[in-house]
Amino acid sequence: MPARVLAQRPPERPLLLSIDLRSGRITAVGELDRLVAHRLSDALHALSVTGHRSWTIDAAGITFCDAEGLRALAGATTLAEERGCTLRLVAASPFTVRLLRLTGLSHLVDRAADRSPLDAA
C-alpha cells in the first residue's frame, strides 16, 4: 500500500489581545478567525463592565479575518449599542478596511484615526 502524503496546515498564528481596562482599548495582533474570534468577544465583555463609554479596537495587527471574525466584530457593535457605548476600530490595515466595507461594517472604522489609502478610492 503506497504511503499517503497528508497536506500540512500552515502553522497557526494565534490572536494575541492586549486589554487596557483604564483606557477602554483592545489591541489585536494576528488572525481573527473561527478558532479564536471568541477571544475578542470575551475581551469586549471585560470592557463592558469598566464603565467606559467609548471602546477602541486597535486593528493594526490583524492579518486575517474570516466570517467568524466578522461575526465577532458585528457582535461587538451590538454589545456596545446595548451598553450605550461607542465602538471604533483604529489603525485598520487596507485589507481590513476593504473587508469591512464589503460586508457593511465600515461604520466601525474611525475615519479620524484611519489613514487608509482606500479612503481616497
Write the pLDDT tens digit of every residue in 29-63.
999 999 999 999 999 999 999 989 999 999 999 99
Integer-rounded Cα radius of gyration of the chain: 16
CA 3 and chain centroid, separation? 41
**pTM over 0.85, yes/no:** no
Domain assignment present for residue 4? The answer is no
Average pLDDT over residues 63-79: 94
Q: Tell me the residue range of the domain where 52 lies.
A: 16-110
Which strand ranges, in their side-by-side order, compose the sheet holding 16-20? 16-20, 25-32, 54-65, 86-90
Which residue from 121, 23, 3, 17 is spatially nearest to 59, judged by alpha carbons? 17
- For residue 109, pLDDT over 60 is answered with yes
- For residue 121, pLDDT over 60 is answered with no
* Alpha helices for the chain (secondary structure H): 37-48, 67-82, 94-102
Domain assignment present for residue 6? The answer is no
Domain assignment present for residue 115? The answer is no
Domain assignment present for residue 102? The answer is yes
